[in-house]
């Protein structure tokens, strides 16, 4: 049976080579499949390619300069299906199916510019597209290291599935396409060049103005409303995972890192107790029955903690070390009657309190938050304190440093014992961003005609630089 035409994303005509000549094939692309017909009609589907029956796709290129696309192979492990066409048609086809399937030969499309960060089993690279010169970020995941992590591959496949569902959206870091090499998986994503909200808050000398806080929170909540509308929970919302597309431009915020995201109705969840102490919702950190469910309200709580930091310059839970923060988080040890909350204007205070309610059933939804009077009242005064002169400055810096940089001894413990909340040590010591060795020579080797691949690049860089960087899980 042919899918509904209203769900169709793209259609084109390619050719199948025969012993003598060629014959046309009509492609119809949908969100979850590619249908190929011998005739230009929609009465039936002659051949269907989807993620279940297709191992990966391989793009074919010319050998002469300038290099051009000339075909596509659907590798199903048994009898690969090869089709040919004009480059313009193939490029447009690639735009519509590159998120759906794993692809081979990433080096044919991208050149590595620099390493942005390094995590427990992945590098984050800045790539440049060879044909458009556009820059992207790539999460380069080591498949061997994944095997040493409990449910590691399942986690990566879940992240890809979640990002495929959510992309594209203006307030999110979008998945562009996915490649798989012999040693690594590559998630090609939007590149946010402005850094994280966490870094901005650390470097800022004064609290954000009311209008800036409004813009930041409105974008975060808009992103959450969209994520939640798809039946998905982020589960690790924090300032490090809020990125600026442009440095210092509060109008360009995006939500990043969907490594812990899950569908609300997919319980028992993958890593049911997860998140970051100080930001994780009470119903998650206190979860007893790991087969039970919770709701998107957990993200509203985390967003509320970010709102709290933006308004007051300090976290909701202030403790000496992440274990104390975790304890306060579990017990919801917060005194909402303190004088600092009374200094906030009534609109900001009301919205904040409704976002951080201990009872998830009473917490506001993203839609309710966006329609709160706080976002409609531009003239109400905000608490205006210079952070360096404020009594909260010391606790603010201590809070950010503490939850991001624990005692080194904690890092040497087994990851399962590190925290009942986190599935891996995400509190890695801060480190400078590693650089590519012999940068210029490597750029030359990463030409489309070279056998040198990004698989090799990742392996060599990981051997030379063992720094831990809390970018990925």
Interacting residues of 456 by C-beta distance below 8 A, sequence separation 6+: none
149 confidence band (pLDDT: 50, 70, 90): confident
As beta bridge partners, residue 185 has 141, 180
Residue 45's pLDDT is 84
How open is the CA angle 235-240-244, to the nearest 5 degrees?
Answer: 115
User: Which pLDDT belongs to residue 463?
Assistant: 41
Residue-averaged pLDDT of the chain: 81
For the cut 80, the answer to whether the pLDDT of residue 411 exceeds it is no
Please tell me the distance from the alpha carbon of residue 16 to that of residue 27, in angstroms, as a whole number.
Answer: 12
Stronger pLDDT, 443 or 15, i.e. the higher one: 15
Q: Which residue has the tokens 């890809």?
A: 160
Q: What is the pLDDT of residue 69?
A: 93
Which positions ≥6 away from 464 have C-beta within 8 Å?
A: 437
pLDDT tens track for 69-95: 999 999 988 889 999 999 999 999 999
Of 142-151, 175-184, 405-414, the poorest mean pLDDT is in 405-414
Q: Rounded CA gap, 78 and 81, in Å?
A: 10
Q: Using 50, 70 and 90 to split pLDDT, how confident is the model at 435?
A: very low
pLDDT of residue 423: 30
Query: What pLDDT band is residue 444 in, cutting at 50, 70 and 90?
Result: very low
Q: Catalytic annotation on 236?
A: yes
High-pLDDT (> 90) share of the chain, %: 62
> How many Å apart are CA 27 and CA 319, to the nearest integer?
58
- pLDDT at res. 66: 83
Q: What is the pLDDT at residue 283?
A: 96
- For 197-418, CATH gives 1.10.510.10
Q: Which of 169, 163, 165, 201 is nearest to 185 (CA)?
A: 163
**What's the CA gap between 419 and 403, in Å, rounded?**
12
% of the chain surpassing 70 pLDDT: 79
Per annotation, catalytic residue among 236, 257, 299, 455: 236
Place of tokens 């509308």: 229
Range 390-393, long-range pairs (CB < 8 A, 24+ positions): 390/207, 390/313, 392/312, 392/313, 392/314, 392/340, 393/313
Rounded CA-CA distance 393/49 in Å is 57
CATH number for the segment(s) 5-102: 2.30.29.30
Fold of the domain built from segment(s) 107-191+431-464: Phosphorylase Kinase; domain 1 (3.30.200)
How many angstroms separate the CA atoms of 388 and 233, rounded?
Answer: 36
How do residues 10-60 score in pLDDT, each as one tens digit? Answer: 999 999 998 788 999 999 999 889 999 999 887 788 899 998 899 999 999
pLDDT of residue 207: 82
Whether omega for the bond prior to residue 66 falls within 30 degrees of 0, making it cis, is: yes
Q: Identify any residues that bridge with 25 across adjacent strands, giving them in sequence order.
A: 14
pLDDT of residue 352: 97
- In this prediction, residue 378 has a pLDDT band, given cuts at 50, 70 and 90, of low
Confidence class of residue 383 from pLDDT cuts 50, 70 and 90? very low
DSSP-H helix ranges across 254-361: 282-285, 297-312, 322-331, 339-342, 346-355
Give ranges for CATH 1.10.510.10 in the chain: 197-418
CATH 2.30.29.30 in the chain: give the residue spans: 5-102
pLDDT of residue 78: 84
Dist CA 110 CA 136 (whole Å)? 9
Instruction: Assign 160 a pLDDT band (cuts: 50, 70, 90).
Output: very high
pLDDT on residue 466: 30
- pTM for this entry: 0.80
Encode pLDDT of 252-276 as tens digits.
Answer: 999 999 999 999 999 999 999 999 9
Q: Which residue has the higher pLDDT, 177 or 427?
A: 177
For residues 77, 90, 131 and 249, what is the CA-based torsion angle, rounded to 10 degrees? -90
Among 113, 92, 85, 110, smallest CA distance to 181 is for 110
How far the first Cα of the chain sits from its last, in Å, is 42
Q: What is the pLDDT of residues 164-177, one digit of tens each?
A: 999 999 999 999 99
The band of 298, judged by pLDDT with boundaries at 50, 70 and 90, is: very high
List the single range of 206-210, 270-274, 341-345, 407-411 with lowest mean pLDDT: 407-411
pLDDT of residue 319: 84
Q: Closest Cα partner for 45 from 4, 96, 100, 91?
A: 4
Question: Which pLDDT score, from 0 to 100, does residue 311 have?
Answer: 94
Q: Start-end ranges of CATH 3.30.200.20 in the chain?
A: 107-191+431-464
């Amino acid at each position: 049976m042919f899918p509904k035409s209203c769900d169709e994303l793209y259609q084109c005509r390619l050719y199948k080579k025969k012993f003598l000549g060629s014959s046309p094939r009509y492609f119809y692309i949908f969100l979850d499949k590619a249908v190929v017909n011998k005739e230009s009609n929609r009465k039936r589907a002659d051949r269907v390619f989807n993620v279940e029956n297709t191992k990966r796709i391989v793009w074919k290129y010319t050998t002469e300069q300038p290099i051009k696309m000339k075909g596509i192979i659907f590798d199903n492990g048994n009898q690969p299906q090869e089709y040919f066409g004009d480059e313009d048609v193939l490029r447009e086809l690639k735009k519509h199916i590159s998120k759906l399937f794993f692809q081979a030969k990433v080096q044919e499309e991208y050149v590595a510019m620099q390493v942005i960060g390094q995590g427990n089993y992945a590098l984050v690279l800045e790539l440049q597209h060879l044909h458009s010169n556009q820059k992207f970020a790539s999460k380069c995941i080591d498949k061997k290291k994944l095997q040493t992590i409990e449910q590691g591959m399942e986690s990566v496949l879940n992240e890809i599935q979640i990002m495929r569902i959510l992309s594209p959206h203006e307030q999110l870091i979008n998945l562009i396409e996915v490649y798989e090499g012999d040693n690594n998986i590559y998630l090609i994503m939007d590149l946010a060049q402005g850094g994280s909200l966490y870094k901005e808050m650390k470097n800022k000398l004064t609290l954000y103005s009311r209008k800036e806080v409004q813009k930041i929170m409105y974008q975060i909540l808009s992103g959450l409303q969209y994520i939640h509308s798809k039946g998905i929970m982020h589960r690790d919302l924090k300032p490090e995972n809020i990125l600026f597309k442009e440095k210092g431009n509060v109008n360009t915020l995006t939500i990043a890192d969907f490594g812990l995201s899950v569908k609300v109705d997919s319980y028992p969840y993958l890593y049911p107790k997860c998140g970051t102490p100080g930001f994780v919702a009470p119903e998650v950190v206190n979860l007893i029955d790991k087969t039970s469910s919770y709701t998107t309200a957990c993200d509203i709580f985390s967003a509320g903690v970010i709102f709290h930091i933006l308004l007051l310059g300090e976290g909701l839970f202030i403790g000496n070390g992440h274990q104390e923060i975790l304890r306060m988080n579990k017990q919801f040890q917060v005194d909402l009657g303190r004088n600092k909350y009374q200094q906030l204007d009534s609109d900001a205070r009301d919205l904040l309190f409704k976002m951080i309610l201990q009872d998830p059933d009473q917490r506001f939804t993203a839609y309710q938050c966006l329609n709160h009077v706080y976002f409609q009242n531009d003239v109400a005064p905000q608490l205006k304190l210079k952070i360096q002169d404020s009594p909260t400055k010391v606790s603010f810096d201590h809070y950010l440093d503490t939850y991001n940089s624990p005692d080194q001894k904690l890092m040497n413990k087994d990851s399962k014992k590190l925290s009942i909340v986190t599935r891996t040590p995400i509190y890695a010591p801060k480190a400078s961003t590693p650089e590519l060795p012999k940068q210029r020579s490597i750029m030359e080797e990463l030409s489309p005609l070279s056998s040198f691949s990004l698989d090799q690049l990742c392996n060599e860089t990981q051997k030379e630089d063992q720094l831990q960087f809390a970018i990925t899980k």
